[in-house]
Amino acid sequence: MSHHLCESELSGIELTSESQRWELRVLQTPEEMRTVEELQRQVWPGSETDVVPTHLLLTAAHNGGVVVGAFVEGQLVGFVFGFPGLEFTPDGPRPKHCSHMLGVLPEYRDQGLGFALKRAQWQIVRHQGLEHVTWTYDPLLSRNAHLNITKLGAVCNTYLREVYGQMRDGLNVGLPSDRFQVDWWINSRRVVDRMEGKPYPRLPLSHYLKSGAPVLNPVEWDDEGWPHPPASSQAAMEDGHPLPTVLVEIPADFLTIKATQPDLALAWRFHTRALFEELFANGYVVTEFIHESGRPPRSFYVLTRDTRGA
């Protein structure tokens, strides 16, 4: 019964996909969910207990949750999964969509599939009448930051320490599971423009530097070319007043650091934890992300603060 309800509810939505290379589909059957289990094992290898099982995916999908798959020649190569949730505001509890997982097989990354899956989720969640989607991601992952902040238009001023306790999967073992929780205001002009493929401003690093926005923590390179966080960071103040815009640098390739330099990975975690917690407490919001693919590639968050009356 719930299966039929769910099918008719979503069948009116035609998922946007300008690419001929893949097909996007809302997933609803036990067989489809089993392929999502299998895909999770490939995207997050190493921990069977962290796989979201078929029965939970199905129950979520039959109760307002959204599971969308991307297929190439009939093979599932990516998926997005989330479910309705509640957030607690000064006006009382409000409904939102909690997006839990987004995964694309390594050989299909950087082709726009992550974006396409999130846009499908955006279409469905808007259709459900919700306005707010949240999810968490590791703020040290440059590719994820570029996708979430630049391409999708999410913003962030929430830093969560150790969200998942000790994680056991191969991508995360041994590092505190600190996360950004991002806000995706799905009816905002900022997000709608991006989802509809309209142009939006993407300014280079030089623009920010020229306009007086400092990099609070420029990386220091060692002899082997590893980026280290500086011993101390510049304050986000000038003449006793908070600056309207500041930049925070992160490594452009944290995945390699995590895999080969665990002490350096930990140093980056604690360095950025302190910096972001302080900036968010002082009213800053992550609004843009810059990734410059030079030699070496470099990555920066842009944080802005309303300085009127400050």
What residues make contact with ligand COA under the rule CB under 6 A? 43, 101-104, 109-115, 137, 142-144, 146-147, 151, 252-253, 291, 299
* Residue among 101 and 285 whose Cβ is closer to ligand COA: 101
Nearer to ligand COA, 202 or 241 (CB): 202
> Least distance to ligand COA from the beta carbon of 2, Å?
27
**Based on CB atoms, which residue is closest to ligand COA, 42 or 206?**
42
Alpha helix ranges (H) inside 44-108: 54-61
How many whole angstroms separate alpha carbon 173 and alpha carbon 30? Answer: 30
Residue whose entry in the numeric block shows the structure tokens 């069948």: 11
- Cβ 106 to ligand COA, closest distance in Å? 8
With CB atoms as reference, the residue minimizing the distance to ligand COA is 114
How far apart are alpha carbons 37 and 163 in whole angstroms? 22
Shortest separation between residue 252's beta carbon and ligand COA, angstroms? 5
Measured from the CB atom, is 2 or 206 closer to ligand COA?
206
Do residues 48 and 38 make contact, with C-beta atoms less than 8 angstroms apart? no
Residue 142's alpha-carbon distances to 138, 169, 242, 244, 299, in angstroms, are 9, 20, 26, 23, 7
Helices 30-43 and 54-61: crossing angle, nearest 10°?
A: 120
Q: Which is nearer to ligand COA, 137 or 276 (CB)?
A: 137
DSSP state of 199: -
Q: How near is the Cβ of 192 to ligand COA at its closest, in Å?
A: 18
> Shortest distance, CB of residue 135 to ligand COA, whole angstroms?
7
Contact 83, 63 (CB under 8 A): yes
